[in-house]
């Protein structure tokens, strides 16, 4: 299954990307060491300035009036009473910002304030700024909005069955936003060769990021005509673009976006938001700084979190459990807007092939518009739901065939240095090592299926699952040929090294990663390096902190900039002391002659010498991911410079009478390529386990379907932190974490992703563990206690021992996906193009 010659690729990769992935651990001074984060001391002192911690003289406070209707036309807005209130300084409505925006170029379907139609409860309609926050609230209550209600669309079935009323006048048809149909290989042959096939239906309920910090922004349009906005955003560059679009004719070069450190993001701060654009416009209107800080309830309305996804999967396997074909359908409840939904749809079909070799693969995905808060990316973006389905289905297959599920996974591993059926290029691949670690650590072989009883009569079970995730998306979200990441270094005679980069630290430690890498290359203490990030006026463009792209992409850019700086310094020093530059070693804050280590000077002296010889020192580095192998339409979602791998074993204790269960222990192994800092990497792994357990056991973004005066209103069931249950310190189990290092040639020092991948296997592993304990299947996430109970009751009554959506085809919406794009796999001699794509063929002819 290897498309190209690995040896040739190795050589090519070395030329293209000198990322030192082959360095051994003991050659490295800072990389891999448990150095504290560069901002750790500020964070434990309460000195880190989040967006809502900022104030300015004469600052106004802004509030948004949000729709109380799920779907309605706006007939009239009367703001006269609000205007008359003392302290009110500015009011905006939809007509003030008529240009639509959206994160993806293909779905520019949002307005800063709804001009004529509201699409979910929470859609913003009016913005009011006042001298006090409370006055702005009071003023919002004085606004009268006359709505003409429209029929609501509540979910994927309803959206599939009702073309009218349309939420948007774009998309495939009716309320179908996207339809994708991609077929790789020969499905008929794949299923013919299968000794066993099974079909299952799964549902994954939506859930939300719940970052501890509520979104906040402070905008200031100064008297020189320049706009600055400080905001809790993961993507200052995309916010910059959205502001330039909506605030036109204000030129982009007069807009400055500063992303404050994010108090948690998890994907929830990666869209440009209404409140950000309104704050900017309000500052332009009033000539005063404007602050907006969302309440917790508003954060739930903003959402753009995990899509609810209904899935149907048909799998064919040989007698020994080798996968011969996979036919996967996903139906995404997108909510009211596009957001990242186009990418989310593709992601529900992209990464199934990266963990296990799938010879023949057919993916059909549909995304629908519904009258609920828009969905988008949350940690694991779009790959979490299908991973749940696939890993539970594999467990069922193993059970059908009487094979150990761990062994079955090992037998199906996608080969390293290969290209998958859907043209994703795998580099290093440590999933096998991950599985072996958790199997050994958990005592899997001895303890699985033993139904050990606890002292209080609960039954123990073990479940296994695996996953993979991207180290950044291979393509930018808007087509362009520019780098994805840029880094600039400035050095001077004081020994100062300042790094400028557009990336945003959302708590994952990306600022520190930059310091560690540059410190390693220049041989200086990473804590001495000044890191200036996420300021569009000062820092080179980086696309943002999403899709786990920062370590690999900005890391490689930082490495290039640092190597160029080292070259300049070495050249200067070499001239001065008459030693060839190639003999100079940078370490311990000094520069040495490798052959004569007594010839040495401090880094500061070396920079001074270079500055005298070569002038002011500044270097840049940039990074663009390798070209993707996929050339078919839709092949832009899924490619990545490298893939991380995770395997987990989860232990549960289930009460067989009530279905109530606990998770006392988790073993997790994650192939990170190379841990730039194992302690910080472990924090990402443990945080992923935690968030995965929240999703598995309790978290859900569910809606109440209520009628009010004959109209349905979809109200978020639980828009508060008390009722949106998330695990507290008491629920966090013991974890054994294994950091597996299988260096990848595309990553700085071989590093790959860590922040998202380890979340994915938790939910299916919990479901599989519940089955191991009490023999019932919950094919729906969250695997809440009442669902386990319902399945136990079904089992007791002689029915199918399962809880989930209707197991046959009646459980899924009837949608005509049209003809599939047919793509030959690499092993069929394919070249990554579709044989029947009229769109692409026409383009090629031109």
Partner 1 sequence: MTEPNKVLATFQVNGEPHEVAFLPHKTLLEVLREEMTMTGTKHGCELGECGACTVQVEGTPVLSCLVLAVDAVGKEIRTVEGLACGSDLAPLQDCMANLGGAQCGYCTPGVLMAADALLKDNARPSRDDIKEALAGNLCRCTGYLKIFEAIELAAARMRGEDAEPSKESIYGS
Residue 34: CB minimum distance to partner 1, A: 4
Between 150 and 672, whose beta carbon lies closer to partner 1?
Answer: 672
Residue 54: CB minimum distance to partner 1, A: 9
Residue 55: CB minimum distance to partner 1, A: 8
Q: In what order do the strands lie in the sheet with 485-491?
A: 530-533, 497-501, 485-491, 617-623
Nearest to 706 by CA among 241, 371, 454, 327: 371
Between 401 and 721, whose beta carbon lies closer to partner 1?
Answer: 721
Q: Where are the beta strands (DSSP E) in 655-754?
A: 661-671, 703-708, 711-716, 734-740
Residue 138: CB minimum distance to partner 1, A: 7
At 277, give phi and psi (nearest 5°): -70, -40
For the packed helices 274-286 and 236-246, what is the interaxial angle rounded to 10 degrees?
50
Q: What are the distances in angstroms from CA 532 to CA 45, 110, 497, 546? A: 20, 32, 11, 19
Residue 84's SS3 state is helix
How many Å apart are CA 366 and CA 342, to the nearest integer?
9
Between 353 and 533, whose beta carbon lies closer to partner 1?
Answer: 533
Between 212 and 809, whose beta carbon lies closer to partner 1?
Answer: 212
- Residues linked to residue 292 through DSSP beta bridges, in sequence order: 217
Between 162 and 736, whose beta carbon lies closer to partner 1?
Answer: 736
Residue 525: CB minimum distance to partner 1, A: 15
Q: Within 10 Å of residue 169's Cβ, how many Cβ atoms?
A: 6
How many Å apart are CA 64 and CA 82, to the nearest integer?
13
Residue 172: CB minimum distance to partner 1, A: 36
Residue 302: CB minimum distance to partner 1, A: 15
Residue 534: CB minimum distance to partner 1, A: 14
Between 221 and 266, whose beta carbon lies closer to partner 1?
Answer: 266
How many Å apart are CA 249 and CA 229, to the nearest integer?
17
Show the CA angle centred on residue 611, arms to residues 608 and 616, nearest 5°: 135
Nearest to 145 by CA among 70, 74, 69, 96: 74
Residue pair 366/178 in contact (Cβ under 8 Å)? The answer is yes
Residue pair 441/667 in contact (Cβ under 8 Å)? The answer is yes
Q: Which residues bind partner 1 (CB under 8 A)?
A: 34, 36-37, 39-50, 52-53, 55, 138, 209-214, 261-266, 295-296, 441, 506-509, 678-680, 682-683, 686-691, 720-722, 726, 728-730, 732, 735-739
Residue pair 6/741 in contact (Cβ under 8 Å)? The answer is no
How many Å apart are CA 205 and CA 543, to the nearest integer?
29
Residue 842: CB minimum distance to partner 1, A: 48
Q: Would you mind telling me the total number of residues written for the chain in this entry?
A: 846
Residue 303: CB minimum distance to partner 1, A: 15
How many Å apart are CA 522 and CA 543, to the nearest integer?
26
Residue 61's SS3 state is strand
Residue 137: CB minimum distance to partner 1, A: 12
Between 526 and 683, whose beta carbon lies closer to partner 1?
Answer: 683
Between 42 and 253, whose beta carbon lies closer to partner 1?
Answer: 42
At 247, give phi and psi (nearest 5°): -90, 5
Rounded to the nearest angstrom, the gap between the alpha carbon of residue 97 and the centroid of all alpha carbons in its chain is 29
Nearest to 233 by CA among 283, 280, 207, 271: 271
Residue 699: CB minimum distance to partner 1, A: 11
Between 408 and 740, whose beta carbon lies closer to partner 1?
Answer: 740
Between 722 and 806, whose beta carbon lies closer to partner 1?
Answer: 722
Residue 724: CB minimum distance to partner 1, A: 9
Between 289 and 626, whose beta carbon lies closer to partner 1?
Answer: 289
Between 39 and 742, whose beta carbon lies closer to partner 1?
Answer: 39
Between 442 and 640, whose beta carbon lies closer to partner 1?
Answer: 442
Residue 35: CB minimum distance to partner 1, A: 9
SS (H, E, C) 226-293: CEEEEECCCCHHHHHHHHHHHCCCCCHHHEEEEECCCCCCCCCCCCCCHHHHHHHHHHHHHCCCEEEE
Q: What are the distances in angstroms from CA 603 to CA 528, 587, 610? A: 12, 9, 11
Residue 798: CB minimum distance to partner 1, A: 41
Residue 634: CB minimum distance to partner 1, A: 33
Residue 679: CB minimum distance to partner 1, A: 5
Between 604 and 718, whose beta carbon lies closer to partner 1?
Answer: 718
Residue pair 42/53 in contact (Cβ under 8 Å)? The answer is no
For the packed helices 341-350 and 384-401, what is the interaxial angle rounded to 10 degrees?
20
- Listing DSSP states for 563-618 in one string gives HHHHHHHHHHHHHHHT--GGGEEEETTEEEETT-TTSEEEHHHHHHHHHHHH-SEE
Beta strands 290-293; 60-66: pairing state: parallel
Cis peptide before 187 (omega within 30 of 0): no
Rounded to the nearest angstrom, the gap between the alpha carbon of residue 319 and the centroid of all alpha carbons in its chain is 37
Residue 814: CB minimum distance to partner 1, A: 39
Positive or negative: CA dihedral 110, 115, 120, 121: positive
Between 559 and 680, whose beta carbon lies closer to partner 1?
Answer: 680
Between 502 and 719, whose beta carbon lies closer to partner 1?
Answer: 719
Residue pair 67/121 in contact (Cβ under 8 Å)? The answer is yes
């Amino acid at each position: 299954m290897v498309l190209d010659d690995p040896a040739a690729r190795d050589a090519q990769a070395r030329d293209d990307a000198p990322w030192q992935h082959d360095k051994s651990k003991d050659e490295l001074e800072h990389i891999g060491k448990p150095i504290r984060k560069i901002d750790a001391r500020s964070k434990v002192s309460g000195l880190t300035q989040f967006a809502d911690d900022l104030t300015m003289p004469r600052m106004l406070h802004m509030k948004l009036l949000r729709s109380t209707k799920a779907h309605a036309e706006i007939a009239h807005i009367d703001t006269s009473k609000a205007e008359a209130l003392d302290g009110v300084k500015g009011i905006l409505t939809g007509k003030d910002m008529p240009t639509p925006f959206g994160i993806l170029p293909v779905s520019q379907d949002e307005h800063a304030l709804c001009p004529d139609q509201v699409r979910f409860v929470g859609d913003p309609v009016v913005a009011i700024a006042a001298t006090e926050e409370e006055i702005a609230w009071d003023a919002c209550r004085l606004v009268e909005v006359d709505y003409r209600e429209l029929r609501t669309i509540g979910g994927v079935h309803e959206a599939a069955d009702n073309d009218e009323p349309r939420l948007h006048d774009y998309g495939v048809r009716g309320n179908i936003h996207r339809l994708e149909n991609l077929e790789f290989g020969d499905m008929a042959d794949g299923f013919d060769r299968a000794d066993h096939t099974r079909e299952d239906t799964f549902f994954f309920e939506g859930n939300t990021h719940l970052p501890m910090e509520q979104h906040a922004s402070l905008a200031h349009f100064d008297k020189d005509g320049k706009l600055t906005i400080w905001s809790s955003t993961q993507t200052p560059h995309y916010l910059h673009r959205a502001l330039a679009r909506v605030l036109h004719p204000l030129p982009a070069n007069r807009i400055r976006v500063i992303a404050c450190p994010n108090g948690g993001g998890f994907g929830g701060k990666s869209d440009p938001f209404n409140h950000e654009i309104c704050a900017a416009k309000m500052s332009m209107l009033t000539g005063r700084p404007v602050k907006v800080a969302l309440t917790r309830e508003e954060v739930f309305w903003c959402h753009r979190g995990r899509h609810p996804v209904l899935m149907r999967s048909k799998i064919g396997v040989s007698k020994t459990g080798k996968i011969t074909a996979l036919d996967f359908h996903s139906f995404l409840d997108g909510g009211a807007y596009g957001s990242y939904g186009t990418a989310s749809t593709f992601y529900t079909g992209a990464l199934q092939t990266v963990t296990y070799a799938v010879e023949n693969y057919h993916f059909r995905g549909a995304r629908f518009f519904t009258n609920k808060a828009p969905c988008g990316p949350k940690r694991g973006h779009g790959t979490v739901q299908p991973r749940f389905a696939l890993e539970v289905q594999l467990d069922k297959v193993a059970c059908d065939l009487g094979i150990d599920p761990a062994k079955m996974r090992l037998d199906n591993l996608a080969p390293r240095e290969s290209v998958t059926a859907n043209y994703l290029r795998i580099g290093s691949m440590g999933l096998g090592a991950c599985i072996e670690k958790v199997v050994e650590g958990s005592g899997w072989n001895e303890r699985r299926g033993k139904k050990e009883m606890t002292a209080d009569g609960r039954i123990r079970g073990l479940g296994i699952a695996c996953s993979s995730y991207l180290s950044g998306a291979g393509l930018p979200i808007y087509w362009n040929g520019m780098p994805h990441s840029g880094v600039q270094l400035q050095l001077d005679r004081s020994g100062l090294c300042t790094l400028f980069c557009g990336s945003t630290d959302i708590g994952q430690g990306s600022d520190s990663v930059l310091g560690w890498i540059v410190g390693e290359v220049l041989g200086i203490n990473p804590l001495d390096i000044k890191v200036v990030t996420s300021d569009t006026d000062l820092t080179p463009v980086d696309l943002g902190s999403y899709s786990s792209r920062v370590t690999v992409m900005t890391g490689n850019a930082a490495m290039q900039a640092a190597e160029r700086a080292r070259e300049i310094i070495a050249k200067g020093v070499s001239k001065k002391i008459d030693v060839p530059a190639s003999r100079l070693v940078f370490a311990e804050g000094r520069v040495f002659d490798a052959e004569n280590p007594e010839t040495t000077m401090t880094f500061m002296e070396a920079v001074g010498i270079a500055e005298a010889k070569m002038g002011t020192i500044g270097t840049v580095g940039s990074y663009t991911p390798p070209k993707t192998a996929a050339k078919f339409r839709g092949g832009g979602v899924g490619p990545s410079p490298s893939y991380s791998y995770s395997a987990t074993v989860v232990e549960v204790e289930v009460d067989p009478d009530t279905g109530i269960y606990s998770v006392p222990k988790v073993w997790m192994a994650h192939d990170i390529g190379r841990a730039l800092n194992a302690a910080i990497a472990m924090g990402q792994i443990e945080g992923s386990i935690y968030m995965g357990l929240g999703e598995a056991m309790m978290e859900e973004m569910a809606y109440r379907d209520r009628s009010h005066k004959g109209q349905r209103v979809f109200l978020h069931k639980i828009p508060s932190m008390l009722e949106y249950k998330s695990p507290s310190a008491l629920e966090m189990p013991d974890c054994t974490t294994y950091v597996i290092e299988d260096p990848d040639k595309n990553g700085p020092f071989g590093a790959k992703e860590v922040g998202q991948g380890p979340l994915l296997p938790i939910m299916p592993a919990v479901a599989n563990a519940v089955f191991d304990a009490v023999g019932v299947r919950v094919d729906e996430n969250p695997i809440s206690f009442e669902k386990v109970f319902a399945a136990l009751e079904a089992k007791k009554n002689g029915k199918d021992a399962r809880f989930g959506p209707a197991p046959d085809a009646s459980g899924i919406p009837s949608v005509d996906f049209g003809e599939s794009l047919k793509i030959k796999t690499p092993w069929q001699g394919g070249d990554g193009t579709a044989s029947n794509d009229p769109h692409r063929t026409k383009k090629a002819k031109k």
